[in-house]
Amino acid sequence: MSPQPRRATRPRPARPRVVLFNKPYNCLSQFTDKGSEGSPRATLSDFIDLPGVYPAGRLDKDSEGLLVLTDDGALQARIASPKFKREKSYLVQVEGTPGAEALEALRVGVALKDGPTRPAAAREIGAPDLWPRDPPVRFRKSVPDAWLEITITEGRNRQVRRMCAAVGLPCLRLVRWRIGDWTLDGLAPGEWREV
């Protein structure tokens, strides 16, 4: 059996491009909707027309907020990989009233089906001054809601949503506000800027 040929790696750019994008609700974190030609689902290509940049990590279709794109594969890996423990902060609207026990469970680490999470920073906050979501979040008059700020250093599939559900606080809205030192400051949904 002959050895597999090695894939050619792209040389690192002399000056990597880094793009901060405020991903709207219902937008896929990819440039194409594979297998769904003519699909009405929004993708990154509906907002960003820069060749050669790719998302460093993902943000679910039903989540909003900061997505970092770059043309540097090594930087892309450092941003997305949990082994580098880059902090990611989320503003999370939850159904219910967060008690001290639920917040402490998030801070210690939550047992999920794919194993325990790393400890997170978690605190209750006032309602942040965010753009209205389209479509709006559905509220139930009989059930209170609250906002949390949660900071994690991993990035498992739907991790923050699963952590909140595990402590009895289903997620109504999720906005990633910060990755490392980069934030959404000054970016409306669908807007991007190079840094």
User: Which residues are CB-neighbours of 91 under 8 A, at least 6 positions away?
Assistant: 65, 125, 128, 130, 147, 148, 149, 174, 175, 177
Q: How, if at all, do strands 171-179 and 54-55 pair?
A: unpaired
For the cut 80, the answer to whether the pLDDT of residue 9 exceeds it is no
The domain of 166 spans: 87-179
Number of domains in the chain: 2
Write the CATH number for 28: 3.30.70.580
For 25-54, what is the mean pLDDT? Answer: 86
In a domain, 1, yes or no: no
93 and 175 housed in the same domain: yes
Confidence of residue 6 (pLDDT cuts 50, 70, 90): low
60 is catalytic: yes
Q: Which of 46, 60, 114, 181 is catalytic?
A: 60
Confidence of residue 143 (pLDDT cuts 50, 70, 90): confident
152 and 110 housed in the same domain: yes
Q: What are phi and psi of 84, to 5 degrees?
A: -90, -5
50 and 124 housed in the same domain: no
